[in-house]
Structure 1
Amino acid sequence: MPVNETLARYSDWAYASAVVIYVLAMAFYLVEQGMTKPKRQRERELVIAVASGGETVVTEGPRALPPERGISRAERIGRMGMALNVLGVLLHGAAVLLRGLATERVPWGNMYEYDSAICLVAVVTWLVLARKFDLRRLSAFVLLPIVILLFLGGTALYSTAAPVQPALQSYWLVVHVSVIAVSSGMLLVAGVASVLYLLRNAHEQNPGRFARLAARLPAADVLDRLAYRVTVLGFPLFTFGVICGAIWAESAWGRFWGWDPKETCAFVAWVVYAIYLHARATAGWRGNRAAVINVVAWVAMVFNLFFINLVTSGLHSYAGVA
């Protein structure tokens, strides 16, 4: 099957441009973070209100400040960061689409394409959550691992546009890999939320720890609920993807499960996520213990998605760097 080199080149340019835009968006988010006062500091400031009779009333204590007139400079910079983020998503989506058009197949047939698809899902998931729950100021922390993974994808994992190997020439490539990519992107966001929860919770228990960073994060229970809700959505998709992978393995290799390194690591991640959700649902676990379990599951996912293909060989090696 011939490859359209022109579309493939445009895809690479769009990919590189998206990474640059994401980095710029991170810079704007960080500037907004630096210009925004922590909540506790704002609550301790004097609240000055003008009474109806023209007298000035000064009130001290943890009260919410009256709404500001107009938009603050920090708010403007944050909105600019969000606009850049959306632009990055459009370029990122164009890169994925153009790679598929160039090869005339689904654009996740190797690790470079797979990494790109997962990161695209993660960014889109975060944009939805940030808008719905007003969590824009966390965007820099979410974009950081995504930018790192995209940089690795564009360098160490990069593959030129080409037809896929025979083992991947199946409709299960669309079903299994796309479901795993969507669930992995969602679980990446949940893992970052749990890491931020641990930082915030440590600061709340000991205000001297991670003070400059954690004081600007939302309350710990907000981050805990965010991680849990995203995991509740992502885990069933991940389970379905693993089942589809087993069916595909039986069709391609004559067995449902063979304890290949990638299969084994996926099973370990699945078990840890199941433990996390079971503990939350039955034991009522909250706090550090649940967050640590979720982070361990996230680390297992990242290790399985990327490092397994770099350091081991197995039946999944055709999806590796080459």
Structure 2
Amino acid sequence: MNLAAATNESLAQMSNTLIYSSMAVYTLAFLAHIAEWVLGSRSKVGRTAAALTQQAAEAPKVTVQVKGGGTAVLDKPKVVTRSAAGSRDVPDGPGAAGGTVKGDLYGRIAVSLTALAFLIEAGGVLTRALSVQRAPWGNMYEFSITFSTVAVGAYLGFLAARKNVRWMGLALVTTVLLDLGIATTWLYTESDQLVPALHSYWLWIHVSTAIFCGAVFYLGAVATLLYLFRDSYENKLATGGNPGSFARSVLERLPAAASLDKFAYRVNAAIFPLWTFTIIAGAIWAGDAWGRYWGWDAKEVWSFITWVGYAAYLHARATAGWKGRKAAYIALIAFACFLFNYYGVNIFVSSKHSYAGV
């Protein structure tokens, strides 16, 4: 059978056109998010500083005996607690728009453009699959376009559930554009049929769950990174520091560090069992395809290292001395392992999982 003849070139070209079109719309969404942050008024921010100042003013007093029979009232020493422990009473910021009508308008435009780009990109993934009548993730290019589609879909899903995640929009659109730029320039592979080893229903199960897990891990990594910045900002305010104007204008609008930390923990904890299933499904598929369940192939090893990283993060969250910033660092290391498992192993390491070049 001629494999080239099995490819519908018209649908393959349509897929490419849709992917490039989605990049154009994502660019417009990126500009709208920039406008949301820049043009949104800063007059309604400053609640973090006000809350921490009020906490200091309301600190309990300590009465002590002094020499000569009198008493003196002293301020109780201020103790700055980690926001990850949930003990710092700091309100969430008003969002990227700063709580203003103008900023909110640009934010809504940005979300609408992101949703439109998502639909166009999803169309590109679908037509890619239809062009060869198979799952659209047989190489790194297809994995990349599907990954970014799922990540944006998860973000829009949180918004549809009325979760406060619009603060993530700018970072999300920026990285999606980077992902698609790398995919269309360095990772692009012509639409073609799969090698025989990949003709299995496990392709649909194993790779789809890996893509979904990675997309959700990405959202958790963004929240974790922003948590570290926001937590440092709150600590500086609580200890009497004076953050710069840029920090105030940006970090003040984000949710409180405790909220960011909680969001990251919940999404990572929720998706971790599915990542466990992904590794198990891959082992079962390996048994069918290669006659062994585990062979210490580079992809298998780094998938397991990623699993260990997130397991360590979840364990750290349950350990008092490792909550907060220490646990956040572990989460970022675990996501870095996921990225290396995808890019590093596929490009730089010889692996049985390497099929279509990149």
* C-alpha distance in 1 between matches for 2:18 and 2:327: 39
**Do structure 1's residue 76 and structure 2's residue 111 form an aligned pair?**
no
8 Å Cα contact 1:33/1:216 also seen in 2: no
* Structure 2 equivalent of residue 8 of structure 1: 12
**Do structure 1's residue 259 and structure 2's residue 296 form an aligned pair?**
yes
Question: TM-score by structure 2 length?
Answer: 0.78
Unaligned runs of 5+ in 1: 46-61, 66-70
Secondary structure of 1:318's counterpart equals: coil
Letter in 1 for 2:278: G
Secondary structure of 2:228's counterpart equals: helix
**Do structure 1's residue 117 and structure 2's residue 146 form an aligned pair?**
yes
**Do structure 1's residue 153 and structure 2's residue 183 form an aligned pair?**
yes
Correspondent of 1:287 among 311, 324, 327: 324
* C-alpha distance in 2 between matches for 1:320 and 1:272: 28
Deviations 1:34-80 (A, max 9, x none): 122455437899xxxxxxxxxxxxxxxx9x99xxxxx7121111111
* C-alpha distance in 2 between matches for 1:130 and 1:200: 22
* Structure 2 equivalent of residue 275 of structure 1: 312
* Structure 2 equivalent of residue 164 of structure 1: 194
Question: TM-score by structure 1 length?
Answer: 0.87
Correspondent of 2:333 among 272, 285, 296: 296
Correspondent of 2:243 among 208, 216, 220: 208
Secondary structure of 2:352's counterpart equals: coil
* C-alpha distance in 1 between matches for 2:48 and 2:271: 37
Deviation at 1:29, TM superposition (A): 1.1
Deviations 1:221-273 (A, max 9, x none): 11111111111222111111110001111111111111111111111111000
Deviation at 1:141, TM superposition (A): 1.4
8 Å Cα contact 2:122/2:149 also seen in 1: yes
**How many equivalent pairs are there?**
300
* C-alpha distance in 1 between matches for 2:337 and 2:298: 12
Compared CA separation, residues 252 and 147, structure 1 to 2 (3 A): same
8 Å Cα contact 2:168/2:222 also seen in 1: no
**1:122-133 alignment runs, 5 A limit:** 122-131=151-160, 132-133=162-163
Deviation at 1:214, TM superposition (A): 2.0
| Higher RCO, Cα 8 Å, sep 6+ | 2
Identity %: 40
**Do structure 1's residue 140 and structure 2's residue 170 form an aligned pair?**
yes
* C-alpha distance in 1 between matches for 2:195 and 2:189: 13
* C-alpha distance in 2 between matches for 1:320 and 1:25: 33
**Do structure 1's residue 195 and structure 2's residue 225 form an aligned pair?**
yes
* C-alpha distance in 1 between matches for 2:167 and 2:215: 20
8 Å Cα contact 2:132/2:191 also seen in 1: yes
* C-alpha distance in 1 between matches for 2:235 and 2:318: 25
8 Å Cα contact 2:155/2:165 also seen in 1: no
The answer to which of 202-211 and 261-270 deviates more is: 202-211
Letter in 2 for 1:224: D
* Structure 1 equivalent of residue 68 of structure 2: none
Secondary structure of 1:317's counterpart equals: coil
8 Å Cα contact 2:309/2:334 also seen in 1: yes
* C-alpha distance in 2 between matches for 1:106 and 1:178: 9
* Alpha-carbon RMSD: 2.4
8 Å Cα contact 1:130/1:136 also seen in 2: yes
Secondary structure of 2:173's counterpart equals: helix
8 Å Cα contact 1:21/1:85 also seen in 2: yes
Deviation at 1:284, TM superposition (A): 7.5
Compared CA separation, residues 268 and 163, structure 1 to 2 (3 A): same
Secondary structure of 1:133's counterpart equals: coil
Deviations 1:11-32 (A, max 9, x none): 0111111122112112111211
Correspondent of 2:344 among 283, 290, 307: 307
Deviation at 1:136, TM superposition (A): 1.3
8 Å Cα contact 2:22/2:118 also seen in 1: yes
* Structure 2 equivalent of residue 18 of structure 1: 22
* C-alpha distance in 1 between matches for 2:200 and 2:123: 24
Deviation at 1:143, TM superposition (A): 2.2
* C-alpha distance in 1 between matches for 2:184 and 2:270: 29
Unaligned runs of 5+ in 2: 51-90, 95-99, 237-241
Letter in 2 for 1:232: A
Secondary structure of 2:318's counterpart equals: helix
Letter in 1 for 2:190: T
Compared CA separation, residues 216 and 98, structure 1 to 2 (3 A): same
Letter in 2 for 1:117: T
